[in-house]
């Protein structure tokens, strides 16, 4: 190749000339004061902490009596606290299970199927964002009123009664699943984008795996972060949801807090603060469950990160409403 | 490989050899019969008939969209043909689901399971078949050793290079002792050096295991250097299936002649006696002679053209590229035709750019095709 490759040679005579590129003198980076960072952090911190601190002060400071923790010590013995919290957690578990059962197979199917279906599923899942919960609950209430009249002589009558069972209102699970669809979809979609689903499915099928085995053993393990994010968002939504439950006449945790706020204002706010702490604790647990072993993180890590961090942003908003508002932990609207 | 479980498809296990472990292998016979597959208006496979013999490495070669990957996917069970059938050892597997085909596949994009380490990736298929953990681990270790990664069992895919990942994918494909090994452009995502070493390794493994292997590639060099036979596909049809040397030396069609290797397309004239006049020489025609006679294009390999410096010559040297033992000389012929000639480097020393040269075809049979309506200034095809 030497014959074809022109080689530039240094001059034969004279002092040798160095052809090595001379490094440009590096200007010392001017250290600019970063006051703005501190200012932004201070403003954000104040915005975040002031309502919490105010709420806390409100709960422990009683005029003319000084500091007392009676609002906190009385929570466990408060009438309806345990039942409402247990009901909300049960509803949250059922909603998470139902939402994931619906969305995971649907999203995997559209990843493997025609691409145009992806847009359809996305639009359907995003619809609850543009339908106000009040509209949703009005529709549900109408159906619940209309159903028994028209199905009184059919087995569906019992179904209508069963879904409104006060000890575990399935109708709330159905409504919450609809409300949670956008968050679950977003979180899982981000996770699936980070995974080459068709190739992994084909590789697993080639190894002899059936379709269910592929979803359980190949797809889901690679979506752990997304699943954790979706679960947390749903949990936060259910724990803080007030409108639907209240208008349908059920009494989960959020409704209970509002109901006790009239007689026990301090306890109501104390419960809100505690619910915020519980939410944060659950966030930590789910985050750790989602990341799992560090070795598997790169598979779906980067693109699911937003989903995992969203709860952190939404949770504080939950209880930051202060004493006079319902402790809504919904990561969206209400 | 002795610990590897047998396939669970219920058919008798063909006698196979694991040469690495001292057993004799025969592999399976794979047949495509009149396979047709269309995607809307696009016909990917148009009546493909092809057979891979037991223990053979058959390369499917062709331009993009010729149907080679579709043929492989049909064999793997990821695509269903519109018509035709696929037979393995005489058994029609056309309608058998992919997970019961007993064909190990290596994908272009590695496709290792990101949440599993190399050992578990290799053992995945064994786990599906409920093989005991001890046996799984032993087999995975054995296969990782076989592909040269004995110490990488605990590594996750993102902790390995592309070449290492593809070796693990190869081990995974072999873990179930498949009757057929399918390689879908397994080297195209790797850099040149790794590609070369892995190419040799795949061939070594294939020969030692005696497994029938179908290898899809668009890289001629890969196909010609690795395969026992190369099937050239064009527009869903089989153009020619032959050993690499025959494919190169005796292409059955003009497409094969021009697609495989580098080919000159020079204007010629049929003489009517089964020969053709080209560049002042009369050469016998090999293969089909276009009806009607008259002007034709003659296909000649660069090594089928001689050139020597001659002030009276009609050609002009445009460039000369030193390639080691040979030098490739690009020549301008009269009428704006270009030709490439591969000459021994010692004979090409005088052929410098701008020198007049005399061009003579080597007297051997040549392929002729109907003359192209508009001749390109650069007629020589550089496909190599």
pLDDT tens digits, one per residue of A192-229: 998 889 999 999 999 999 989 999 999 999 998 899 88
| B130 reaches A (C-beta below 8 A) | no
What is the reported pLDDT for A29? 59
Q: Which of A243, A225, A251 is nearest to A332 (CA)?
A: A243
A contacts of B153 (beta carbons < 8 Å): none
Give residue B226's pLDDT.
92
Q: Give the whole-angstrom CA distance, residue A16 versus residue B347.
A: 39
What does the mean pLDDT of chain A come to?
A: 78
Q: Which of B249, B272, B295 is the last residue of a domain?
A: B249
Residue B11: what pLDDT? 34
- pLDDT of A323 reads 31
**Contact at CB, A4 and B107, closer than 8 angstroms:** no
Closest Cα in chain B, distance from residue A98 (Å):
25
Chain A neighbors of B125, CB-CB under 8 A: 207-209
Claim to verify: residue B183 and residue B306 sit in the same structural domain: no
pLDDT score at A20: 42
- The string of pLDDT tens digits covering residues B251-273 is 888 889 889 988 898 999 888 77
* A325: enclosing H helix or E strand: none
> Given CA atoms B251, B257, B263, B266 in this order, what sign does their dihedral have?
positive
Q: Which of B197, B217, B249 is the last residue of a domain?
A: B249
The answer to whether residue B294 scores a pLDDT higher than 80 is no
Question: CB distance B176–A204 less than 8 Å?
Answer: no
Q: How close A229 comes to chain B (CA, Å)?
A: 18
What B322-326 contacts at long range (C-beta under 8 Å, 24+ apart), as own/partner pairs, is B322/A1, B322/A2, B322/A3, B322/A4
Tokens 């939402």 sit at which residue? A99
Q: Is the pLDDT of residue A331 over 70?
A: no
CB contact under 8 A, A202 and B76: yes
Q: What is the mean pLDDT of residues B330-347?
A: 91
Report DSSP letters for A14-61, one per residue: SS----SPPPPPPPPPP----HHHHHHHHHHHHHHHHHHHHHHHHHHE
**Which of the listed residues B249, B281, B300 is the one where a domain comes to its end?**
B249
- CB-CB under 8 Å, B322 with A1: yes
Q: Is B129 on the interface with A (CB under 8 A)?
A: yes
Instruction: Please state the rounded mean pLDDT for residues B287-313.
Output: 86
- List CB contacts (< 8 A) between A112 and chain B: none
Confirm or reject contact between B236 and chain A (CB < 8 A). Answer: no
CATH of the domain at B286: 2.40.50.100
Residues B273 and B352 in one domain: yes
Report the pLDDT averaged over residues A270-293.
Answer: 77
Q: What pLDDT is stored for residue A25 in this prediction? A: 54
- The per-residue pLDDT of chain B, averaged, comes to 86
**Considering the entire predicted model, what is its pTM?**
0.73
CB contact under 8 A, A221 and B115: yes
Q: Domains in chain A, please, with CATH?
A: 86-333 (1.10.3720.10)
Size of interface A-B (CB pairs under 8 A): 82
Q: How confident is the model at residue B334 (pLDDT cuts 50, 70, 90)?
A: confident
Chain A nearest C-alpha distance from B206 (Å): 19
Task: For residues B167 and B284, state if they share a domain.
Answer: no
Question: CB of A4 within 8 A of CB of B321?
Answer: yes
Residue A329 in this model has a pLDDT that exceeds 50: no
* pLDDT tens, position by position, A41-50: 999 999 999 9
Q: Is the pLDDT of residue B112 over 60?
A: yes
User: Is A300 in contact with B114 (Cβ distance < 8 A)?
Assistant: yes
* CA A156 – CA A150 distance, rounded (Å): 9
Closest CA to B318 of B266, B354, B349, B347: B354
Q: Measured between CB atoms, does B355 come within 8 Å of chain A?
A: no
Domain presence at residue B257: no
Say whether B113 and A204 touch across the interface (CB within 8 A): yes
Is A118 buried (19+), middle (13-18) or exposed (0-12) by CB count in 10 A? middle
pLDDT over 60 at B90, yes or no: yes
C-alpha–C-alpha distance, residues A260 and A266, integer Å: 9
Give chain A's largest Cα–Cα span. 112
The domain that contains B175 carries what CATH number? Answer: 3.40.50.300
Q: Is residue B317 part of a domain?
A: yes
Does residue A208 belong to the interface with chain B, where contact is any CB pair within 8 Å? yes
For residue A213, which residues of chain B lie inside 8 Å, CB to CB? 128
Q: Are residues B230 and B354 in the same domain?
A: no
**Confidence at B19, pLDDT banded by 50, 70, 90:** very low
CA distance A275 to A291: 24
pLDDT grade, residue A26 (50/70/90)? Answer: low
Contact call for B128 and A213, based on CB within 8 A: yes
B72 touches chain A (CB under 8 A): no
Give chain B as a 3 state SS string: CCCCCCCCCCCCCCCCCCHHHCCCCCCCCEEEEEEEEEECCEEEEEEEEEEECCCCEEEEECCCCCCHHHHHHHHHCCCCCCEEEEEECCEECCCCCHHHCCEEEECCCCCCCCCCCHHHHHHHHHHHCCCCHHHHHHHHHHHHHHCCCCCCCCCCHHHCCHHHHHHHHHHHHHCCCCCEEEEECCCCCCCHHHHHHHHHHHHHHHHHHCCEEEEEECCHHHHHHHCCEEEEEECCEEEEEECHHHHHHCCCCHHHHHHCCCEEEEEEEECCCCEEEECCEEEEECCCCCCCCCEEEEEECHHHEEEEECCCCCEEEEEEEECCCEEEEEEEEHHHEEEEEEEEHHHCCCCCCCCEEEEEECCCCEEEEECCCCCCCCCCECCC
For chain B, how many structural domains are there in total? 2
Q: Which of A113, A205, A207 to mutate to test the interface with B (most CBs of B within 10 A)?
A: A207
A300 CB neighbours in chain B (<8 A) are 114
Taken in order B19, B20, B23, B29, the sign of the CA dihedral is negative
The mean pLDDT of B2-25, rounded to a whole number, is 38
For residues B100 and B216, membership in a common domain is answered with: yes
Q: Looking at the domain assignment, is residue B327 inside a domain?
A: yes
User: Does residue B174 belong to any structural domain of this protein?
Assistant: yes
Span A58-69, average pLDDT = 86
Least confident of A250-264, B156-170, B202-216, B238-252: A250-264
In a domain, B25, yes or no: yes
Q: Coil, strand, or helix at residue A167?
A: coil
Residues of B in contact with A218 (CB under 8 A): 113
Does B255 reside within a domain? no
Q: How far is B274 from chain A (nearest CA, A)?
A: 42
Alpha carbon distance B336, B267 (integer Å): 11
A115 in reach of chain B (CB within 8 A): no
Where would I find the H helices in chain A? 35-60, 70-73, 81-112, 116-130, 133-150, 156-162, 170-193, 197-206, 211-214, 224-240, 243-248, 253-261, 265-291, 297-319
Q: Quick one: B231 and B285 in the same domain?
A: no
pLDDT computed for residue A122 by the predictor: 92
Identify the pLDDT of residue A27. Answer: 58
Question: Same domain for B268 and B122?
Answer: no
Residue A89 pLDDT > 50? yes
Task: Give the pLDDT confidence of B173-188 residue by residue, as tens digits.
Answer: 999 889 999 999 998 8
- B198 and B344 in a common domain: no
Which of these, A104, A84, B297, lies nearest to B285 by C-alpha position? Answer: B297
Chain A interface test: which of B40, B75, B116, B128 (most A C-beta within 10 Å): B128
Cβ count within 10 A of residue B365:
13
Q: Which residue of A has its CA nearest to B78?
A: A202
Paired with B213 in beta bridges are B57, B181
Contact B77/A at CB under 8 A: yes
The whole-number pLDDT of residue A320 equals 32
Cβ neighbours of A210 in B, within 8 Å: 99
The answer to whether the CB atoms of A295 and B117 lie below 8 A apart is yes
- Is pLDDT above 70 for A294? no
Between A11 and A46, the more confident residue is A46
B positions 288-327 inside 8 Å of A (CB): 320-322
Closest partner CB to A199 (pick from B100, B104, B107): B107
ipTM reported for the complex surpasses 0.90:
no
Specify burial of residue B189 (Cβ count, 10 A radius: 0-12, 13-18, 19+). middle
Nearest residue, CB atoms, A295 vs list B124, B156, B320: B156
Is the CB of residue A265 less than 8 Å away from at least one CB of chain B?
Answer: no
pLDDT score of A305: 33
Q: Do A203 and B103 touch (CB under 8 A)?
A: no
Asked whether residue B138 is assigned to any structural domain, the reply reads: yes
Residue B74 and residue B212 in one domain: yes
| Domain that includes residue B232, residue range | 16-249
Task: Assess if residue B372 is contained within a domain.
Answer: yes
Write down the pLDDT at residue A157.
81
* Closest residue on chain A to B319 (Cα): A4
Chain A residues with CB under 8 Å of B77 CB are 205
A302 touches chain B (CB under 8 A): no
Same-domain check for residues B218 and B269: no
pLDDT-based confidence at residue A32 (cuts at 50, 70, 90): low
Q: Taking CB atoms and an 8 Å limit, are B78 and A210 in contact across chains?
A: no
Q: CB contact, 8 Å: B104 with chain A?
A: yes
Are residues B166 and B52 part of one domain? yes
Q: Is B287 exposed, middle or buried (0-12, 13-18, 19+ CB in 10 A)?
A: middle
Please list, in sequence order, all residues whose beta carbon lies within 8 angstroms of the beta carbon of residue B105, skipping any fewer than 6 positions away.
A202, A203, A206, B72, B76, B173, B181, B182, B183, B184
Is the Cβ of B345 closer than 8 Å to some Cβ of chain A?
Answer: no
- Whether the per-residue pLDDT at A304 is higher than 50: the answer is no
Tokens encoding B154: 């605990």
- Residue bearing the bigger pLDDT, A177 or B15: A177
Q: Are residues B280 and B244 in the same domain?
A: no
| A202–B105 C-beta distance less than 8 A | yes
What average pLDDT does this structure show over A148-166?
81
Do the Cβ atoms of A209 and B100 come within 8 Å? no
């Amino acid at each position: 190749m030497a014959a074809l490759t022109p080689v530039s040679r240094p001059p034969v005579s004279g002092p040798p000339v160095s052809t090595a590129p001379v490094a440009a003198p590096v200007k010392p980076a001017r250290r600019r004061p970063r006051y703005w960072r501190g200012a932004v952090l201070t403003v954000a911190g104040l915005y975040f902490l002031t309502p919490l601190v105010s709420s806390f002060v409100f709960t422990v400071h009683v005029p003319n009596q000084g500091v007392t923790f009676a609002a906190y010590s009385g929570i466990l013995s408060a009438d309806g606290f345990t039942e409402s919290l247990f009901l909300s957690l049960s509803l949250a578990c059922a909603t998470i299970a139902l939402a994931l059962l619906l969305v995971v197979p649907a999203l995997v199917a559209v990843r493997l199927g025609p691409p145009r279906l992806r847009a359809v599923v996305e639009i359907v899942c995003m619809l609850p964002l543009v339908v106000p919960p009040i509209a949703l609950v009005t529709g549900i209430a109408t159906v619940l009123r209309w159903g028994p009249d028209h199905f009184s002589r059919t087995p569906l009558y019992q179904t209508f009664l069963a879904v409104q069972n006060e000890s575990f209102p399935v109708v709330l699970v159905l409504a919450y699943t609809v409300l949670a669809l956008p968050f679950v979809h977003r979180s899982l979609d981000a996770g699936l984008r980070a995974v080459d689903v068709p190739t992994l499915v084909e590789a697993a099928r080639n190894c002899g795996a059936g379709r269910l085995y592929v979803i359980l053993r190949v797809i889901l393990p690679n979506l752990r972060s997304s699943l954790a994010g979706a679960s947390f968002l749903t949990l936060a939504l259910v724990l803080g949801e007030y409108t639907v439950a209240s208008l349908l006449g059920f009494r989960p945790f959020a409704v209970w807090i509002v109901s006790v706020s009239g007689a026990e204002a301090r306890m109501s706010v104390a419960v809100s603060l505690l619910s915020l702490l519980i939410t944060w604790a659950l966030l930590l647990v789910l985050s750790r469950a989602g990341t799992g072993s560090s070795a598997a993180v790169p598979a779906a890590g980067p693109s699911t990160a937003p989903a995992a961090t969203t709860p952190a942003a939404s949770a504080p908003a939950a209880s930051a409403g202060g004493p006079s508002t319902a402790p809504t932990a919904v990561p969206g609207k209400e | 490989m002795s610990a590897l479980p047998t396939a669970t498809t219920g058919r008798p296990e063909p006698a196979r050899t694991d040469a690495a472990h001292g057993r004799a292998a025969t592999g399976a016979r794979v047949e495509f019969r009149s396979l047709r597959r269309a995607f809307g208006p696009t016909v990917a496979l148009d009546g493909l008939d092809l057979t891979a013999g037991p223990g053979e490495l058959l390369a499917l070669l062709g331009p993009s969209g010729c149907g080679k990957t579709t043929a492989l996917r049909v064999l793997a069970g990821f695509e269903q043909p519109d018509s035709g059938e696929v037979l393995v050892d005489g058994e029609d597997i056309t309608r058998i689901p992919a997970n019961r085909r007993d064909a190990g596949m290596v994908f272009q994009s590695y496709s290792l399971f990101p949440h599993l380490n190399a050992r578990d990736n290799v053992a995945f298929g064994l786990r599906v078949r409920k093989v005991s953990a001890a046996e799984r681990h032993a087999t995975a270790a054995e296969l990782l050793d076989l592909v040269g990664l004995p110490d990488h069992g605990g590594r996750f895919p993102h902790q390995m290079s592309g070449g290492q990942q593809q070796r693990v994918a190869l081990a995974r494909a072999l873990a179930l002792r498949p009757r057929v090994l399918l390689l879908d452009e397994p080297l195209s995502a790797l850099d040149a050096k790794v590609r070369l070493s892995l190419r040799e390794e795949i061939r070594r493994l294939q020969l030692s295991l005696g497994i029938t292997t179908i290898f899809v590639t668009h890289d001629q060099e890969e196909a010609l250097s690795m395969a026992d036979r190369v099937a050239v596909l064009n527009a869903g049809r089989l153009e020619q299936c032959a050993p690499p040397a025959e494919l190169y030396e005796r292409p059955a069609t003009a497409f094969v002649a021009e697609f495989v290797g580098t080919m000159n397309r020079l204007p010629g004239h049929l003489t009517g006696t089964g020969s053709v006049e080209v560049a002042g020489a009369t050469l016998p025609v090999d293969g089909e002679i276009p009806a009607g006679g008259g002007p034709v294009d003659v296909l000649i390999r660069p090594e089928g053209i001689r050139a020597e410096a001659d002030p009276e010559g009609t050609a002009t040297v445009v460039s000369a590229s030193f390639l080691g033992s040979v030098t490739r000389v690009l020549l301008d012929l009269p009428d704006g035709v270009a030709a490439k000639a591969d000459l021994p480097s010692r004979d090409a020393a005088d052929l410098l750019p701008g020198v007049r040269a005399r061009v003579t075809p080597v007297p051997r049979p040549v392929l002729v095709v109907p003359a192209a309506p508009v001749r390109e200034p650069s007629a020589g095809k550089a496909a190599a």
